Amino acid sequence: MTATLPATHVFDVDQLSFEADVLQASLHTPVLVDFWATWCEPCKTLGPMLEKLAAEYNGAFRLGKVDVDTQQELAGMFGIRSIPTVMLVKDGQVLDGFTGALPEGQLREFLARHVQPLAAAAEEEAVDEAAAETPEQAVQRWQQAIAAEPDQAALKLELALALMRAGQLAAAEAQLVALPANLATDARAQRLRSELDLAQALVAAPTLAALQQRVQADPSDWEARDLLGVRLLHEGDAAGGLEQFLAILQHARDWNGGAGKQRLLAAFATLDDAELVGRYRRKMASLLF
């Protein structure tokens, strides 16, 4: 499958170019990443439709193509289990995605949720700023929307996200568990799961100082390192937290069911620093492959 559109719209992605061409570039323009393979029949259906839409949107988003056969490490870093898998990257983070060859109508609906002409996006941002609301107000708004349209499952995901932002962890967890299967794999739902896992780890965790003392006394106290990493993330020291998880992956890869790798992936899903995430993805990959 060869991209037939100008490079400004469609381009090939490899592990070396991913950080600059996808993560960094998405800070300015959303990037749709298509994980595909030449032998994949659904990919042959989906790929041309994505390229058609990239041309139609005329630069409102770019389409990056990842051949999973030649870029196995990159596919592994993102946990790609089936193809085609499509991820929308915006502001340096995976914002949404889907698996399988969707019909064109559903593709348009997917794009319409996230991608708009620059003028429309600027207008929406101004409206959002004027209508700023507290997390508690957002919870109430989504609860009212669900009461009015109880069959709209997508509203329940919005409520779960609002509950998380409001610090209502148990309620957010309940909403997340109750999501239908198609929404449970939504990129925002997966990010929420990562945020909840990290937040719940701190519910009964020792203080930052106590955890630092434990690690200093015993560098192989993996439980202390794990919780210290989460504490540091929570305190805003993302690099320090990632270093703790990386140490677990390097020296005790199988500890607690591979917790080092799982914590790294969860942290990547919640961090908005594209450069930092890209750097530590490469460090993780160097230990795994």
Residue 70 shares a structural domain with residue 165: no
Residue 40 shares a structural domain with residue 111: yes
Query: For position 155, what pLDDT does the model report?
Result: 87
**Cα(152)–Cα(210) distance, integer angstroms:** 46
| 154 falls within a domain | yes
Residue 140 shares a structural domain with residue 122: no
Looking at the 3D structure of the chain, how many domains does it have? 3
Mean pLDDT of 196-208: 91
| 148 falls within a domain | yes
Mean pLDDT of 166-187: 85
Residue 247 confidence class, pLDDT cut points 50, 70, 90: very high
| 3 falls within a domain | no
Output the 3-class SS for 230-287: HHHHHCCCHHHHHHHHHHHHHHCCCHHHCHHHHHHHHHHHHCCCHHHHHHHHHHHHHH
Query: For position 8, what pLDDT does the model report?
Result: 60
Residue 16 shares a structural domain with residue 114: yes
Its domain, for residue 168, covers 135-193
- Counting DSSP H helices and E strands in the chain, the numbers are 15, 5
Residue 50 shares a structural domain with residue 151: no
For residue 233, give the CATH number of its domain.
Answer: 1.25.40
Of 99, 126, 153, which residue is a domain's last?
126
For residue 34, give the CATH number of its domain.
Answer: 3.40.30.10
Residue of higher predicted confidence among 229 and 103 = 229
Residue 155 shares a structural domain with residue 241: no
Active-site annotation, residues: 40, 43
Residue 14 shares a structural domain with residue 105: yes
**What's the pTM value of the predicted model, to 2 decimals?**
0.56
Query: For position 6, what pLDDT does the model report?
Result: 42
**Cα(19)–Cα(24) distance, integer angstroms:** 6
| 183 falls within a domain | yes
Residue 3 confidence (pLDDT) above 50: no
**Residues contacting 222, CB < 8 A, separation 6+:** 248, 252, 255, 256, 259
| 89 falls within a domain | yes
High-pLDDT (> 90) share of the chain, %: 44
| 165 falls within a domain | yes
| 119 falls within a domain | yes
Residue 225 shares a structural domain with residue 176: no
Of 78, 102, 126, which residue is a domain's last?
126
Query: For position 4, what pLDDT does the model report?
Result: 41
Residue 30 confidence (pLDDT) above 60: yes
Query: For position 203, what pLDDT does the model report?
Result: 87
Residue 121 shares a structural domain with residue 221: no
Residue 93 confidence (pLDDT) above 90: no
Residue 7 confidence (pLDDT) above 60: no
Residue 74 shares a structural domain with residue 116: yes
| 243 falls within a domain | yes
Residue 109 confidence (pLDDT) above 90: no
Of 126, 147, 182, which residue is a domain's last?
126
Residue 113 shares a structural domain with residue 64: yes
Residue 58 shares a structural domain with residue 162: no
Residue 182 confidence class, pLDDT cut points 50, 70, 90: confident
Mean pLDDT of 190-210: 90
Characterize the bridge pairing of strands 93-99 and 85-90.
antiparallel
